[in-house]
Amino acid sequence: MSLHAQPDLPVAPASETVSRPRRVEGLVTGQPTSDGAGVKLTRVLTHTLQRRLDPFLMLDAFGSDNPDDYIAGFPDHPHRGFETVTYMIAGRMLHRDSAGHEGLLQNGGVQWMTAGRGVIHSEIPQQEEGVMEGFQLWLNLPARDKLCAPWYRDFQAADLPRFVTASGVDVTVIAGASHGVAGAVTREGTQPLYLDLHLLAGSRFEQGLPSGHNAFVYVYRGAVRIQGAEVPVQRMAILENDGDADGVLIEAGAESRVLLIAGRPLNEPIAQYGPFVMNTEEELRQAVLDLHSGRLA
Ligand code: FE
């Protein structure tokens, strides 16, 4: 056990043993963009990777200590047909939606929203200074669930399952399961795994992964090695879908923080128009009609 490990964290109840780890297929550098009312962010998982990383549709990283980059937030906007998972590393964001939900997302907290048939919501920073940092992941819904009832849940940092491995890796299980610990959210259709890993210098982390699941690692502090490939900070490593591989092995030369995200591909058509993600163009037209006639949410 490392001197740096948090003494109050429970030790993993089980271990994950990976004998044939996946290799890195490619590294992706995010694209700087702005969204909402001018929020500056980095789009790590872009449109062109939606098929490769099915069921994931988007990953945005936002991080700035300049309020001009984030203060206007995301005023009222609609969503239909997928789920959004917002993970705040630093700062506070107020969420309000058309179903009457309201929640304040704070340091280390996660908001999981299933837009289903429709939600109109706002996401507005609740601070005028300081650092704002976090991630928003879009997770697709199976065709059969795209028009389900909206669902929403806020998890404060203390509500998220967290443990430390024998080698001193601090693991937060946002979704799925790791080392015998079930995450805050599970989904039958897409079986998402969403881990935030804090690795000490010299530590390593193993995670079993079904070979058919698409998986990637995003490094937001430090740098890691995966089967000999160096993954620097602010890079996404797409992991190869090798039929013989049984998981991933992540090694940290320096203290590092990474997201490990994986899921079962839906292999269904993806049709996107901005904040609507359906299976056909016809369903997108219907979403726009429903929005304009007040029947979306
Ligand atoms: Fe939104």
Cα 124 to ligand 1 centroid, rounded to whole Å: 10
Cα 74 to ligand 1 centroid, rounded to whole Å: 7
Cα 190 to ligand 1 centroid, rounded to whole Å: 20
Cα 266 to ligand 1 centroid, rounded to whole Å: 22
Instruction: For the chain, list the domains and their CATH numbers.
Output: 3-292 (2.60.120.10)
* pLDDT for position 1: 40
| Structure confidence by residue, pLDDT tens digits, 63-79 | 889 999 999 999 999 99
| Structure confidence by residue, pLDDT tens digits, 176-202 | 999 999 999 999 999 999 999 999 999
User: Percent of the chain scored above 90 by pLDDT?
Assistant: 92
Cα 34 to ligand 1 centroid, rounded to whole Å: 14
Cα 141 to ligand 1 centroid, rounded to whole Å: 16
| Structure confidence by residue, pLDDT tens digits, 200-221 | 999 999 999 999 999 999 999 9
* pLDDT for position 3: 45
Cα 267 to ligand 1 centroid, rounded to whole Å: 24
**pTM of the complete model:** 0.96
Cα 97 to ligand 1 centroid, rounded to whole Å: 10
Q: Count the Cβ atoms, other than its own, within 10 Å of residue 117.
A: 18
Cα 234 to ligand 1 centroid, rounded to whole Å: 23
Cα 202 to ligand 1 centroid, rounded to whole Å: 38
User: Percent of the chain scored above 70 by pLDDT?
Assistant: 98
β pairing state of 247-252 and 276-278: unpaired
Residue with tokens 């849940």: 153
Q: Which of 12-26, 121-135, 260-274 has the lowest mean pLDDT?
A: 121-135
β pairing state of 132-140 and 102-105: unpaired
Contacts of range 3-6, beta carbons closer than 8 Å, 24 or more positions apart? 4/168, 4/200, 5/164, 5/168, 5/170, 5/200, 6/164, 6/170
Cα 76 to ligand 1 centroid, rounded to whole Å: 8
